[in-house]
Structure 1
Amino acid sequence: MAHHLQHLIEQYGLLAVFLGCLAEGEGAAILGGFFAHQGVFGLPAAVLASFTGAALGDMGFFLLGRRYARHPWVQRLRARPGFARADRLVRRHPNAFVLLNRYVYGMRLVGGVAAGLAEIGFWRFAVLNLVSALAWAALFTALGYVFGLGVQEFIGRALHAHQRLWIGGGLLVFAGLAAVIVRTWLIRRARELPT
Protein backbone atom coordinates (compact mmCIF):
# COMPACT_ATOMS: atom_id res chain seq x y z
CA MET A 1 0.00 0.00 0.00
CA ALA A 2 2.72 2.47 0.98
CA HIS A 3 4.73 1.65 -2.14
CA HIS A 4 1.61 2.25 -4.25
CA LEU A 5 1.03 5.61 -2.54
CA GLN A 6 4.62 6.66 -3.17
CA HIS A 7 4.31 5.64 -6.82
CA LEU A 8 1.12 7.70 -7.21
CA ILE A 9 2.74 10.76 -5.65
CA GLU A 10 5.84 10.36 -7.82
CA GLN A 11 3.68 9.93 -10.92
CA TYR A 12 1.01 12.57 -10.32
CA GLY A 13 2.30 14.74 -7.47
CA LEU A 14 3.42 17.65 -9.63
CA LEU A 15 0.14 17.56 -11.53
CA ALA A 16 -1.73 17.65 -8.20
CA VAL A 17 0.39 20.64 -7.07
CA PHE A 18 -0.37 22.42 -10.36
CA LEU A 19 -4.12 21.72 -10.14
CA GLY A 20 -4.24 22.68 -6.46
CA CYS A 21 -2.57 26.01 -7.21
CA LEU A 22 -5.08 26.91 -9.93
CA ALA A 23 -7.52 28.04 -7.24
CA GLU A 24 -6.49 29.00 -3.71
CA GLY A 25 -3.56 26.62 -3.56
CA GLU A 26 -1.37 27.50 -0.55
CA GLY A 27 -1.72 23.99 0.81
CA ALA A 28 -0.80 22.46 -2.55
CA ALA A 29 2.33 24.64 -2.83
CA ILE A 30 3.37 23.79 0.74
CA LEU A 31 2.88 20.07 0.10
CA GLY A 32 4.88 20.41 -3.11
CA GLY A 33 7.77 21.76 -1.06
CA PHE A 34 7.34 19.03 1.56
CA PHE A 35 7.45 16.26 -1.05
CA ALA A 36 10.41 17.95 -2.74
CA HIS A 37 12.25 17.75 0.56
CA GLN A 38 11.36 14.07 0.81
CA GLY A 39 12.97 13.54 -2.61
CA VAL A 40 9.77 12.59 -4.40
CA PHE A 41 10.49 15.29 -7.01
CA GLY A 42 12.85 18.24 -7.29
CA LEU A 43 12.33 21.57 -5.57
CA PRO A 44 12.59 23.57 -8.84
CA ALA A 45 9.89 21.34 -10.35
CA ALA A 46 7.62 21.96 -7.33
CA VAL A 47 8.15 25.73 -7.59
CA LEU A 48 7.46 25.62 -11.34
CA ALA A 49 4.24 23.60 -10.86
CA SER A 50 3.06 26.01 -8.13
CA PHE A 51 3.99 29.08 -10.17
CA THR A 52 2.31 27.83 -13.35
CA GLY A 53 -0.88 26.85 -11.56
CA ALA A 54 -1.10 30.12 -9.64
CA ALA A 55 -0.35 32.31 -12.67
CA LEU A 56 -2.78 30.51 -14.98
CA GLY A 57 -5.49 30.36 -12.32
CA ASP A 58 -5.41 34.10 -11.69
CA MET A 59 -5.20 34.85 -15.40
CA GLY A 60 -8.27 32.68 -15.93
CA PHE A 61 -10.22 34.50 -13.19
CA PHE A 62 -9.13 37.84 -14.68
CA LEU A 63 -10.29 36.85 -18.17
CA LEU A 64 -13.52 35.50 -16.76
CA GLY A 65 -14.28 38.90 -15.24
CA ARG A 66 -13.11 40.71 -18.37
CA ARG A 67 -14.96 38.72 -21.01
CA TYR A 68 -17.96 37.25 -19.20
CA ALA A 69 -19.06 39.99 -16.83
CA ARG A 70 -22.74 39.21 -17.37
CA HIS A 71 -22.45 35.44 -17.03
CA PRO A 72 -24.51 34.04 -14.11
CA TRP A 73 -21.42 32.48 -12.53
CA VAL A 74 -19.64 35.86 -12.50
CA GLN A 75 -22.79 37.48 -11.11
CA ARG A 76 -22.83 34.93 -8.28
CA LEU A 77 -19.19 35.75 -7.54
CA ARG A 78 -20.06 39.44 -7.42
CA ALA A 79 -22.65 38.64 -4.74
CA ARG A 80 -20.12 36.81 -2.54
CA PRO A 81 -19.00 38.36 0.72
CA GLY A 82 -15.83 40.30 0.20
CA PHE A 83 -16.37 41.09 -3.47
CA ALA A 84 -17.39 44.71 -2.84
CA ARG A 85 -14.28 45.19 -0.74
CA ALA A 86 -12.07 43.62 -3.43
CA ASP A 87 -13.68 45.84 -6.05
CA ARG A 88 -12.97 48.98 -4.02
CA LEU A 89 -9.36 47.98 -3.38
CA VAL A 90 -8.59 47.07 -6.98
CA ARG A 91 -9.97 50.39 -8.23
CA ARG A 92 -8.02 52.42 -5.64
CA HIS A 93 -4.71 50.52 -5.73
CA PRO A 94 -4.66 48.32 -8.85
CA ASN A 95 -0.94 47.46 -8.89
CA ALA A 96 -0.73 46.66 -5.19
CA PHE A 97 -3.97 44.71 -5.36
CA VAL A 98 -2.79 42.44 -8.19
CA LEU A 99 0.58 41.89 -6.49
CA LEU A 100 -0.83 41.15 -3.02
CA ASN A 101 -4.30 39.71 -3.63
CA ARG A 102 -3.14 36.09 -3.71
CA TYR A 103 -1.77 36.37 -0.16
CA VAL A 104 -5.21 37.04 1.34
CA TYR A 105 -6.92 33.72 1.91
CA GLY A 106 -10.28 33.46 0.19
CA MET A 107 -9.77 36.53 -2.01
CA ARG A 108 -7.93 35.05 -4.99
CA LEU A 109 -11.02 33.97 -6.88
CA VAL A 110 -13.08 37.10 -6.35
CA GLY A 111 -9.94 39.26 -6.63
CA GLY A 112 -9.09 38.00 -10.10
CA VAL A 113 -12.63 38.55 -11.31
CA ALA A 114 -12.72 42.01 -9.68
CA ALA A 115 -9.47 42.91 -11.48
CA GLY A 116 -11.03 41.85 -14.79
CA LEU A 117 -14.11 43.93 -14.14
CA ALA A 118 -12.00 46.94 -13.10
CA GLU A 119 -10.62 47.17 -16.63
CA ILE A 120 -6.97 46.86 -15.71
CA GLY A 121 -5.02 46.47 -18.95
CA PHE A 122 -4.32 42.89 -19.99
CA TRP A 123 -0.52 43.27 -20.23
CA ARG A 124 -0.35 45.23 -16.99
CA PHE A 125 -2.25 42.49 -15.20
CA ALA A 126 -0.21 39.75 -16.89
CA VAL A 127 3.16 41.18 -15.81
CA LEU A 128 2.04 41.93 -12.25
CA ASN A 129 0.41 38.50 -12.02
CA LEU A 130 3.59 36.70 -13.17
CA VAL A 131 5.75 38.59 -10.66
CA SER A 132 3.30 37.92 -7.85
CA ALA A 133 2.84 34.24 -8.77
CA LEU A 134 6.59 33.63 -8.85
CA ALA A 135 7.14 35.21 -5.43
CA TRP A 136 4.12 33.38 -4.01
CA ALA A 137 5.20 29.99 -5.42
CA ALA A 138 8.76 30.39 -4.16
CA LEU A 139 7.57 31.45 -0.69
CA PHE A 140 4.99 28.71 -0.08
CA THR A 141 7.03 25.94 -1.68
CA ALA A 142 10.02 26.99 0.44
CA LEU A 143 7.78 26.90 3.53
CA GLY A 144 6.87 23.31 2.70
CA TYR A 145 10.51 22.43 2.11
CA VAL A 146 11.59 23.98 5.44
CA PHE A 147 8.66 22.27 7.13
CA GLY A 148 9.97 18.98 5.69
CA LEU A 149 13.34 19.72 7.27
CA GLY A 150 11.64 20.36 10.60
CA VAL A 151 9.58 17.18 10.41
CA GLN A 152 12.68 15.17 9.59
CA GLU A 153 14.60 16.67 12.51
CA PHE A 154 11.65 16.38 14.90
CA ILE A 155 10.62 12.86 14.03
CA GLY A 156 14.09 11.68 13.15
CA ARG A 157 15.73 10.19 10.17
CA ALA A 158 14.62 6.71 11.19
CA LEU A 159 11.28 6.99 9.42
CA HIS A 160 11.11 5.35 6.04
CA ALA A 161 10.14 7.38 2.98
CA HIS A 162 6.64 5.86 2.87
CA GLN A 163 6.00 6.86 6.49
CA ARG A 164 6.96 10.44 5.71
CA LEU A 165 4.56 10.32 2.75
CA TRP A 166 1.77 9.26 5.11
CA ILE A 167 2.65 12.21 7.31
CA GLY A 168 2.40 14.46 4.25
CA GLY A 169 -1.00 12.98 3.40
CA GLY A 170 -2.18 13.58 6.95
CA LEU A 171 -0.95 17.16 6.74
CA LEU A 172 -2.91 17.60 3.52
CA VAL A 173 -6.10 16.48 5.26
CA PHE A 174 -5.34 18.74 8.23
CA ALA A 175 -4.62 21.71 5.91
CA GLY A 176 -7.89 21.10 4.07
CA LEU A 177 -9.89 21.04 7.28
CA ALA A 178 -8.11 24.16 8.56
CA ALA A 179 -8.82 25.92 5.25
CA VAL A 180 -12.54 25.12 5.49
CA ILE A 181 -12.67 26.42 9.07
CA VAL A 182 -10.78 29.62 8.23
CA ARG A 183 -12.88 30.20 5.10
CA THR A 184 -16.10 29.78 7.07
CA TRP A 185 -14.83 32.20 9.71
CA LEU A 186 -13.78 34.76 7.08
CA ILE A 187 -17.14 34.56 5.29
CA ARG A 188 -18.99 35.00 8.56
CA ARG A 189 -16.79 37.96 9.46
CA ALA A 190 -17.17 39.55 6.00
CA ARG A 191 -20.95 39.40 6.35
CA GLU A 192 -20.70 41.26 9.64
CA LEU A 193 -18.53 44.07 8.20
CA PRO A 194 -20.24 47.12 6.72
CA THR A 195 -19.83 47.43 2.94
Structure 2
Amino acid sequence: MKELFRKIQPYSGKILTIILIVFFSFLIYNLYQAPVEGIEEKFIYLLKKYGYIILFAWGMLEGEAGLIMAGLLSHTGDMNLYIAIFVAGLGGFAGDQVYFYIGRFNKSYVHKKFKNQRRKFALAHLLLKKHGWPIIFIQRYMYGMRTVIPISIGLTRYSAKMFAFINLISAWCWAALTIVPVWYFGNEILVVLEWIKEHWYLAIPIAAIFGGSILYYINQTTKKVEKRGQNED
Protein backbone atom coordinates (compact mmCIF):
# COMPACT_ATOMS: atom_id res chain seq x y z
CA MET A 1 0.00 0.00 0.00
CA LYS A 2 2.82 2.39 0.91
CA GLU A 3 4.60 1.57 -2.36
CA LEU A 4 1.43 2.36 -4.32
CA PHE A 5 1.07 5.64 -2.42
CA ARG A 6 4.66 6.62 -3.32
CA LYS A 7 3.99 5.93 -6.99
CA ILE A 8 0.81 8.00 -7.00
CA GLN A 9 2.16 11.04 -5.10
CA PRO A 10 4.26 12.48 -7.97
CA TYR A 11 1.09 12.67 -10.08
CA SER A 12 -1.11 14.13 -7.32
CA GLY A 13 -1.61 17.44 -9.14
CA LYS A 14 -2.79 15.78 -12.36
CA ILE A 15 -5.00 13.37 -10.43
CA LEU A 16 -6.60 16.30 -8.57
CA THR A 17 -7.26 18.10 -11.87
CA ILE A 18 -8.93 15.03 -13.40
CA ILE A 19 -11.06 14.47 -10.28
CA LEU A 20 -12.23 18.10 -10.27
CA ILE A 21 -13.08 18.02 -13.99
CA VAL A 22 -15.11 14.82 -13.55
CA PHE A 23 -16.78 16.20 -10.43
CA PHE A 24 -17.85 19.51 -11.96
CA SER A 25 -19.01 17.74 -15.13
CA PHE A 26 -21.19 15.57 -12.88
CA LEU A 27 -22.60 18.66 -11.15
CA ILE A 28 -23.34 20.44 -14.44
CA TYR A 29 -25.14 17.38 -15.76
CA ASN A 30 -27.24 17.08 -12.60
CA LEU A 31 -27.93 20.82 -12.64
CA TYR A 32 -29.36 20.43 -16.14
CA GLN A 33 -31.38 17.35 -15.11
CA ALA A 34 -32.75 18.86 -11.87
CA PRO A 35 -36.58 18.35 -11.73
CA VAL A 36 -37.33 22.04 -11.03
CA GLU A 37 -37.72 25.17 -13.14
CA GLY A 38 -35.34 28.11 -13.20
CA ILE A 39 -31.56 28.19 -12.77
CA GLU A 40 -31.81 29.51 -9.20
CA GLU A 41 -34.18 26.73 -8.14
CA LYS A 42 -32.01 24.14 -9.91
CA PHE A 43 -28.91 25.36 -8.09
CA ILE A 44 -30.67 25.29 -4.71
CA TYR A 45 -31.97 21.78 -5.45
CA LEU A 46 -28.44 20.64 -6.30
CA LEU A 47 -27.01 22.14 -3.11
CA LYS A 48 -29.63 20.42 -0.97
CA LYS A 49 -29.13 17.06 -2.67
CA TYR A 50 -25.33 17.03 -2.95
CA GLY A 51 -24.51 19.72 -0.41
CA TYR A 52 -21.74 17.99 1.53
CA ILE A 53 -20.04 16.65 -1.62
CA ILE A 54 -20.06 20.13 -3.18
CA LEU A 55 -18.83 21.63 0.08
CA PHE A 56 -15.88 19.23 0.22
CA ALA A 57 -14.83 20.08 -3.36
CA TRP A 58 -15.31 23.80 -2.71
CA GLY A 59 -13.22 23.42 0.44
CA MET A 60 -10.40 21.89 -1.62
CA LEU A 61 -10.42 25.02 -3.76
CA GLU A 62 -10.55 27.08 -0.53
CA GLY A 63 -13.48 29.12 -1.75
CA GLU A 64 -15.20 31.11 0.97
CA ALA A 65 -18.34 31.40 -1.18
CA GLY A 66 -19.01 27.69 -0.67
CA LEU A 67 -18.60 28.05 3.08
CA ILE A 68 -20.98 31.01 3.13
CA MET A 69 -23.55 28.91 1.29
CA ALA A 70 -23.00 26.12 3.82
CA GLY A 71 -23.64 28.58 6.64
CA LEU A 72 -26.92 29.66 5.07
CA LEU A 73 -28.03 26.06 4.47
CA SER A 74 -27.15 25.25 8.08
CA HIS A 75 -29.28 28.20 9.16
CA THR A 76 -32.27 26.98 7.15
CA GLY A 77 -31.83 23.42 8.44
CA ASP A 78 -30.79 21.89 5.10
CA MET A 79 -27.34 21.14 6.50
CA ASN A 80 -26.01 20.16 9.90
CA LEU A 81 -23.72 22.91 11.21
CA TYR A 82 -21.14 20.60 12.76
CA ILE A 83 -20.99 18.23 9.77
CA ALA A 84 -20.66 21.22 7.43
CA ILE A 85 -17.65 22.54 9.38
CA PHE A 86 -16.12 19.06 9.50
CA VAL A 87 -16.55 18.42 5.75
CA ALA A 88 -15.43 21.91 4.66
CA GLY A 89 -12.35 21.61 6.88
CA LEU A 90 -11.49 18.21 5.41
CA GLY A 91 -11.77 19.69 1.92
CA GLY A 92 -9.44 22.55 2.76
CA PHE A 93 -7.04 20.09 4.39
CA ALA A 94 -7.05 17.77 1.37
CA GLY A 95 -6.40 20.63 -1.05
CA ASP A 96 -3.33 21.87 0.81
CA GLN A 97 -2.02 18.34 1.26
CA VAL A 98 -2.09 17.95 -2.53
CA TYR A 99 -0.14 21.21 -2.94
CA PHE A 100 2.36 20.10 -0.28
CA TYR A 101 3.04 16.79 -2.04
CA ILE A 102 3.32 18.51 -5.42
CA GLY A 103 6.25 20.42 -3.91
CA ARG A 104 7.66 17.37 -2.15
CA PHE A 105 7.67 14.98 -5.14
CA ASN A 106 7.57 17.26 -8.21
CA LYS A 107 10.37 19.75 -7.56
CA SER A 108 11.51 20.05 -11.17
CA TYR A 109 7.91 20.59 -12.30
CA VAL A 110 7.38 23.28 -9.65
CA HIS A 111 10.57 25.17 -10.59
CA LYS A 112 9.53 25.11 -14.24
CA LYS A 113 5.81 25.85 -13.79
CA PHE A 114 6.19 28.58 -11.18
CA LYS A 115 9.39 30.25 -12.44
CA ASN A 116 7.56 33.59 -12.67
CA GLN A 117 6.66 33.41 -8.97
CA ARG A 118 10.16 32.99 -7.56
CA ARG A 119 9.76 36.08 -5.40
CA LYS A 120 6.69 34.59 -3.72
CA PHE A 121 8.47 31.29 -3.12
CA ALA A 122 11.45 33.14 -1.64
CA LEU A 123 9.10 35.10 0.59
CA ALA A 124 7.33 31.89 1.68
CA HIS A 125 10.67 30.30 2.62
CA LEU A 126 11.65 33.43 4.54
CA LEU A 127 8.36 33.54 6.45
CA LEU A 128 8.58 29.84 7.34
CA LYS A 129 12.17 30.23 8.52
CA LYS A 130 11.35 33.30 10.61
CA HIS A 131 7.94 32.39 12.06
CA GLY A 132 7.77 28.59 11.80
CA TRP A 133 4.49 26.68 12.10
CA PRO A 134 2.17 29.74 12.58
CA ILE A 135 2.69 30.48 8.87
CA ILE A 136 1.11 27.11 8.03
CA PHE A 137 -1.81 27.98 10.30
CA ILE A 138 -2.55 31.42 8.81
CA GLN A 139 -1.61 30.87 5.15
CA ARG A 140 -5.28 30.47 4.18
CA TYR A 141 -5.79 34.15 4.96
CA MET A 142 -2.77 35.38 2.97
CA TYR A 143 -4.02 36.58 -0.41
CA GLY A 144 -1.85 35.42 -3.29
CA MET A 145 0.07 32.94 -1.10
CA ARG A 146 -2.50 30.18 -0.48
CA THR A 147 -1.07 27.88 -3.13
CA VAL A 148 2.54 29.03 -2.92
CA ILE A 149 3.09 28.39 0.80
CA PRO A 150 2.05 24.68 0.90
CA ILE A 151 4.08 23.97 -2.26
CA SER A 152 7.01 25.94 -0.88
CA ILE A 153 6.96 24.00 2.40
CA GLY A 154 6.83 20.76 0.40
CA LEU A 155 10.08 21.80 -1.29
CA THR A 156 11.83 21.91 2.10
CA ARG A 157 12.59 19.12 4.56
CA TYR A 158 9.75 20.19 6.83
CA SER A 159 8.05 17.23 8.52
CA ALA A 160 5.10 15.96 6.46
CA LYS A 161 3.37 14.71 9.62
CA MET A 162 3.73 18.08 11.38
CA PHE A 163 2.47 19.92 8.30
CA ALA A 164 -0.56 17.61 8.05
CA PHE A 165 -1.43 18.07 11.74
CA ILE A 166 -1.20 21.88 11.67
CA ASN A 167 -2.95 21.98 8.30
CA LEU A 168 -5.90 19.94 9.59
CA ILE A 169 -6.42 22.12 12.68
CA SER A 170 -6.05 25.26 10.57
CA ALA A 171 -8.59 24.00 8.01
CA TRP A 172 -11.23 23.28 10.65
CA CYS A 173 -10.68 26.70 12.26
CA TRP A 174 -10.97 28.37 8.84
CA ALA A 175 -14.23 26.52 8.15
CA ALA A 176 -15.69 27.36 11.56
CA LEU A 177 -14.69 31.05 11.41
CA THR A 178 -16.54 31.39 8.08
CA ILE A 179 -19.56 29.11 8.51
CA VAL A 180 -20.57 29.88 12.14
CA PRO A 181 -21.06 33.69 11.72
CA VAL A 182 -23.11 33.13 8.55
CA TRP A 183 -25.21 30.52 10.36
CA TYR A 184 -25.74 32.83 13.36
CA PHE A 185 -26.66 35.91 11.28
CA GLY A 186 -28.57 33.87 8.71
CA ASN A 187 -31.81 35.88 8.93
CA GLU A 188 -30.04 39.19 8.38
CA ILE A 189 -28.01 37.79 5.46
CA LEU A 190 -31.12 36.34 3.80
CA VAL A 191 -32.85 39.73 4.09
CA VAL A 192 -29.86 41.41 2.43
CA LEU A 193 -29.78 38.78 -0.33
CA GLU A 194 -33.49 39.29 -0.98
CA TRP A 195 -32.91 43.06 -1.20
CA ILE A 196 -30.03 42.49 -3.64
CA LYS A 197 -32.25 40.23 -5.73
CA GLU A 198 -34.93 42.92 -5.95
CA HIS A 199 -32.52 45.86 -6.39
CA TRP A 200 -29.69 44.23 -8.35
CA TYR A 201 -29.06 47.43 -10.33
CA LEU A 202 -28.04 49.17 -7.08
CA ALA A 203 -26.23 46.19 -5.60
CA ILE A 204 -23.76 45.80 -8.50
CA PRO A 205 -21.95 49.17 -8.09
CA ILE A 206 -21.97 48.81 -4.29
CA ALA A 207 -20.49 45.32 -4.51
CA ALA A 208 -17.92 46.52 -7.06
CA ILE A 209 -16.79 49.39 -4.82
CA PHE A 210 -16.74 47.23 -1.69
CA GLY A 211 -14.97 44.31 -3.38
CA GLY A 212 -12.50 46.61 -5.11
CA SER A 213 -11.63 48.27 -1.80
CA ILE A 214 -10.98 44.90 -0.16
CA LEU A 215 -8.81 43.71 -3.08
CA TYR A 216 -6.87 46.99 -3.03
CA TYR A 217 -6.23 46.70 0.70
CA ILE A 218 -5.14 43.05 0.41
CA ASN A 219 -2.90 43.86 -2.57
CA GLN A 220 -1.20 46.73 -0.73
CA THR A 221 -0.72 44.59 2.38
CA THR A 222 0.83 41.79 0.31
CA LYS A 223 3.22 44.24 -1.36
CA LYS A 224 4.31 45.57 2.05
CA VAL A 225 4.97 42.03 3.29
CA GLU A 226 6.98 41.20 0.16
CA LYS A 227 8.98 44.43 0.46
CA ARG A 228 9.68 43.74 4.13
CA GLY A 229 10.79 40.22 3.26
CA GLN A 230 13.19 41.51 0.58
CA ASN A 231 14.68 44.04 3.00
CA GLU A 232 15.20 41.40 5.67
CA ASP A 233 16.72 39.03 3.10
- TM band (smaller chain): 0.7 to 0.9
Q: Which residue of 2 aligns with 1:79?
A: 116
> 2:99, 2:151 within 8 Å by CA — same for their partners in 1?
yes
> 2:73 aligns to what?
35
TM-score of the superposition, structure 1-length normalised?
A: 0.75
Q: 1:134 to 1:79 in 2, by over 3 A?
A: same
Larger Rg: 2
- 1:105 maps onto 2:138 in alignment: no
Alpha-carbon separation, structure 2, partners of 1:183 and 1:23: 22
* RMSD between superposed Cα atoms in Å: 3.5
Alignment: residue pair count:
180
State the Cα distance separating 1:108 from its structure 2 match: 1.4
Letter in 1 for 2:69: L
Is 2:143–2:222's contact at 8 Å kept on the other side of the alignment? no
Q: Where in structure 2 are there 5+ consecutive unaligned residues?
A: 1-37
Aligned counterparts of 1:60 and 1:85: Cα–Cα separation in 2: 21
Cα displacement string for residues 15-36 of structure 1 (whole angstroms, at most 9, x for unaligned residues):
2221121123222222211221
Contact 1:64–1:74, Cα closer than 8 Å, also in 2: no
1:40-119 alignment to 2 at 5 Å?
A: 40-71=78-109, 73=110, 75-77=112-114, 79-80=116-117, 82-119=120-157
Structure 1 contact 94–120 (Cα < 8 Å) conserved:
no
**Distance apart, 1:77 and its partner CA:** 3.1
Counterpart AA for 1:98: I
Q: What amino acid sits opposite 1:30 in the alignment?
A: I
Residue type at the aligned position of 1:77: F
* Equivalent position SS for 2:133: helix
Matched, 1:14 2:47: no
Structure with the larger RCO, 1 or 2 (CA within 8 Å, 6+ apart) = 1
Q: Determine which of 186, 189, 193 is the counterpart of 2:219.
A: 186
Q: 1 CA distance for matches of 2:143 and 2:53?
A: 22
Quick one: distance in 2 between partners of 1:184 and 1:149? 29
| Counterpart AA for 1:52 | L
Q: Is 1:148 aligned to residue 186 of structure 2?
A: yes
Instruction: Give the Å deviation of 1:192.
Output: 10
Partner of 1:108, secondary structure, is: coil
Please give the secondary structure, in 1, of the residue aligned with 2:147: helix
2:177 to 133, 136, 139: 139
Larger helix proportion, structure 1 or 2?
Answer: 2
Q: Secondary structure at the match of 1:79?
A: helix
1:183–1:4 distance in 2 versus 1, CA, 3 Å = same
Cα distance change on mapping 1:189 and 1:99 into 2, 3 Å: closer
What secondary structure, in the 3-state scheme, does the structure 2 residue paired with 1:58 have? helix
State, as a whole percentage, how many aligned pairs show the same letter. Answer: 27
TM-score, length basis structure 2: 0.64
- Higher mean alpha-carbon deviation, 46-55 vs 12-21, is at 12-21
- Structure 1: runs of 5+ lacking an equivalent: none
